Amino acid sequence: MGKDDKNTKSISISGSAGDKNKALELAMNQIEKSFGKGAIMKLGADTRLDIHAISTGSLSLDLALGIGGIAKGRITEIYGPESGGKTTLALAIIAQCQKAGGTAAFIDAEHALDPSYARALGVDTDNLLVSQPDNGEQALEIMELLVRSGAVDIVVVDSVAALTPRAEIEGDMGDSLPGLQARLMSQALRKLAGVLSKTDTAAIFINQVREKIGVMYGNPETTTGGKALKFYATMRLDVRKIGQANKVGNESVSNTVKIKVIKNKVAPPFKEVELTLSYGTGFDQLSDLVTLASDFDIVKKAGSFYSYGDERIGQGKDKAIAYIKERPELEQELREKVTLHILSNQGAAAAATAGEPPLDAAVN
């Protein structure tokens, strides 16, 4: 009799589970009917949650970001001191997006975009959407409309500090309007976050830094526009020049820029890269490529000499870069090998995290 009791209990539990599944299915159907398809789903079935990326144009920075670039469908904040390379980095990302066939928009709140410089960075200015809004509300409304259209892949706002609220513009000089810009940003980001995710659009907010008064300990720097952007941003990049300008003779030709990943919700944060920012042409991708190829032992370095295979390509990094620059096919070959090395390492790390053998081990 005890056995019959167990069977009866088992049947009643399975029946209850079946009823629950039917009730859940009915509830999900009702939610989709009321709020649209995709309003609710099982996590494993939602392919939209896979994070896509737009390359920054720098292999080192793509590697530091962990997913091959900035996240689509998310918000990225690029901030730092003046003339550090923030806008240059944003334009480089736009150029990569356009090369991949995407559509880009640039909201120039600072009214300072230089089309000739953008072209030098590889931006297709003929097809770049540009807006120079009169106030902060207008800028963010334009941004929301572009994102809601689902027709753009990336929107850049330059900069948060220049998003002046309408009330401040219409008021008198010297009027005190505390917290107005912070409230504007908080409201806009609440509206934008969900729409960006649904349309898989990347948003970049360029921001400036200020110094907090009376800070004795810790970092006195803070960004403008309140705290909302810090919370909503999936990635935050600190971009600033380090050291002195690099010179050829008496002429300054480039700077070294340090980019630190301060926040990253989709990969480990706090990684740093140092890139060469050449005046007039942007970040030196070849210099970055040679550095990575040398680090990965694809290009051999013995003393000051660089060699690839049996071929010596230069004494000193500058000569190695010049050698590769004259041979586009060699550059492409090195880029493919470096990219493959990065992807294989990421695949091995992902397999280790999941407790699976690496791909080559599984094949063997």
Paired tokens of 110: 């600072």
- The binding site consists of 80-87
Distance separating alpha carbons of residues 74 and 88, to the nearest angstrom: 20
C-alpha pair distances (Å), 57 with each of 23, 86, 97, 201, 338: 50, 14, 9, 18, 14
Q: Letter for the amino acid at 261?
A: V
One-letter amino acid of 222: T
- pLDDT value at residue 200: 95
Q: Which residues are annotated as a binding site for ATP?
A: 80-87
pLDDT score of 50: 74
Nearest by Cα to 54 from 27, 73, 78, 36: 73
Q: Which two tokens stand for residue 147?
A: 């994102």
- Dihedral of CA atoms 284, 289, 292, 294 in degrees, nearest 10, equals -110
CB 285 within 8 A of CB 58: yes
**pLDDT given for residue 360 in this prediction:** 47
Q: Which of 237, 168, 241 has the alpha carbon at shortest distance from 207?
A: 237
Strand partners, 263: 236
Per-residue pLDDT 10s for the chain (364 aa) are 455 554 544 444 455 788 898 999 999 999 988 987 778 888 776 555 578 999 999 999 999 999 999 999 999 999 999 999 999 999 999 999 999 999 999 999 999 999 999 999 999 999 999 999 999 999 999 999 999 999 999 999 999 999 999 998 888 887 777 889 999 999 999 999 999 999 999 999 999 999 988 888 888 999 999 999 999 999 999 999 998 888 888 899 999 999 999 999 999 999 999 999 999 999 999 999 999 999 999 999 999 999 998 889 999 998 999 999 999 999 999 999 998 988 877 666 555 555 555 444 443 4
The pTM is what? 0.85
* Paired residues of 106 in beta bridges: 130, 156
